[in-house]
Each structure stands twice: as C-alpha cells, then as structure tokens.
Amino acid sequence: MDNSQNNKKEISRKLKERAIFEGFTICGIASIPGSSRLELRTKALNRWLSNNYHGEMKWMEAEKRKNISSLLEGAKSVLSVGFAYISSENNCQDKIFKVGKFGQGEDYHKVIYKKLKNIGRWINQEISDCKWKICVDTSPLLEKAWAEESGLGWIGKNSNLISKKNGSWFTLGFIILTKDLEPDKPHPSLCGKCNKCIEFCPTKAIIEPFVIQSNLCIAYHTIESREKKIPKEIEKNLNGWVAGCDICQDVCPWNKSVPLNDNFENTPKEWIKNLNIESLSWDDKTWEEKLKGTTLKRVKPWMWRRNIRANLSNK
C-alpha cells in the first residue's frame, strides 16, 4: 500500500474517532457518488413523490435531494453520524398524552449541528486543504440512503434507519467533504421476514415494505399536517399520541435491547413528562415558552390543542 493510501486510511480513521469523541453513537464514511443503491433509492423517492405520498411535505420535492454534489462543489466523501436519543427516562408508554421519543429532550438539530461544527474545526486543522458542509435534516439530502451507504445501518420496512447494535433510536447528521476518504461498506438489510412494524401500525400507513403513505401516518398528522381537523380514521387510532408516534419502532425486534444514552440532551422536558388535560388551557405564549429549545416547536400551539382534543374525543 502506498503512502497516499495509508494517509487516506489514517485520516478516515481519525475522522471517525473524532465523531465518537464528540458524542455521536455511530459513524461511517461513503464515497460520492456512491454505489448503485443510491440510484435505486433515488428512483424509490421519485415513485413516492409521484404517488403524492409525501402529503404537504413539499420540501421533499427539492431536486438537490437527488444529487449530493449540488450541495458542495467538488464533493468526494460524506461522513454520516447517528446521535442516539433513547434514554432511561423518555419512554412515555403509560402517559395520557404521548410524545415521540425523538422530541422529548433538546432540539436534536442544534445538538447535532454543534457537534458537527466541532468536527469541522478539527477538519480545518487536520485536513487543511478540505472544504466541508454540514447537513442536518433540514438540508435537501437523501439522508437515510447515505447513512446506509456509509454502513450505519439499513433502511427498515418502516422506512427508519436501523442499526444492528443501536436499533433505530437515533437521529442523523452529515458532513460532506471535498477530500477522498476511505469508505465503509454499505450495510446489508437485516429485516428478513419480520413484518411487525407493518402489522402493528394501527392506521396501516406502511402500505408496503419500505413505503409510508404520509396521510395515513399518525406522526405526519400530529407534526406536519396543517389541516384544522385530524381525519376521523386517524383520530380513532391516536391512542394518546399528540406529537409523533413510536409504534413501528417500539415493536421492532432490533429496538428491544439497545444501549441507553442518558445525558442532559436527552432528558425529557418536565412539561412533556407531565403533559395532561390542563395543557388545553395554555395560551400561545405559554406553549411557545414550553416549546423553546425543542424540536417540537414545529408543532404550533393551535396544533397541540387540535391533537389533544382529537385524543379526548375518543376517550
């Protein structure tokens, strides 16, 4: 192996070490433009969009999403990272009103961005001729496909990325780099014949393996949809969910025993742990104060009231 190959391998190893040092649970590297699976994932996205399964999520139509190189000129590699948000405190199964585990602690966009920025500073010192760009999930990127390509895990039948060791309780972040790095092997799918996520979805939103029809999904209706009322078919299946839904992850065998990430970033907000019917009397200002610093501020105060009332109408 020549010196340049050695250097490539060494800097790739150090970069991933740095990602773990910054607090990410898993990380991996993919080369751009990636393997043929990226082309397959892009075609799958096009089919999903053409069927209008994305509902009101029009940002999913961004053309840049289909071409990672359009996000950074001269892009050659991508570092994919996963931040685990599962903790011993954020299981809200027995609560009257339930909130998706991903949103119970600090805003993961900010948490991930800060950690990636630290890695970026490290890149400036260690790979001075390298340009880089951070992408957290507001960027038009085929996130799960690139995470799969980087070896973090595989896209499951519920469309979540699943890691053999960490299940699917993690959010993703990326740094695109202009440096040619040593790629990890893409992860094979390990869902096998298991269809638990499909069988247990109360609204049958997973219309076929890997395909979610958003307008049948509880998480979509409680977080993304700006309709004044939740459709009756969804409403009668809410079963306490007021922001998000974890059912397809809760039943996944890969999530049965995963390492917990107990830290301040994942500690549920007190008001989320104690959310009850009294919240219906909160005015917009109170809601905005509560939602500050969380990713749940995407759910506007009137939507919280809508979601809570929809649950109560079925009690």
- DSSP letter string over 44-73? HHHHHHHTTTTTT-GGGG-GGGG-GGGGST
Give me the residue label for tokens 């192996």.
1
State the Cα angle at 62 between 56 and 64, rounded to 5°.
160
Q: Is 55 left (phi over 0), alpha (psi -120 to 50) or beta?
A: left
Length of the chain: 315
What does the block give as tokens for 293? 């610093």
Residue 303 makes CB contacts below 8 A (sequence gap 6+) with 222, 226
Is 137 catalytic? The answer is yes
Centroid of chain to Cα 72: 22
Q: Is 210 left (phi over 0), alpha (psi -120 to 50) or beta?
A: left
Q: CA 145 to CA 105: how far, in whole Å? A: 26
CB 15 within 8 A of CB 118: no
Active-site residue, selected from the candidate residues 2, 94, 129, 137: 137
Centroid of chain to Cα 160: 8
What does the block give as tokens for 220? 């979509």
Residue 8 makes CB contacts below 8 A (sequence gap 6+) with 180, 181, 182
CA distances from 183 to 11, 109, 239, 262 (A): 12, 25, 43, 30
Q: CA 312 to CA 216: how far, in whole Å? A: 20
Q: CA 142 to CA 22: how far, in whole Å? A: 24
Residues marked active site are found at 137
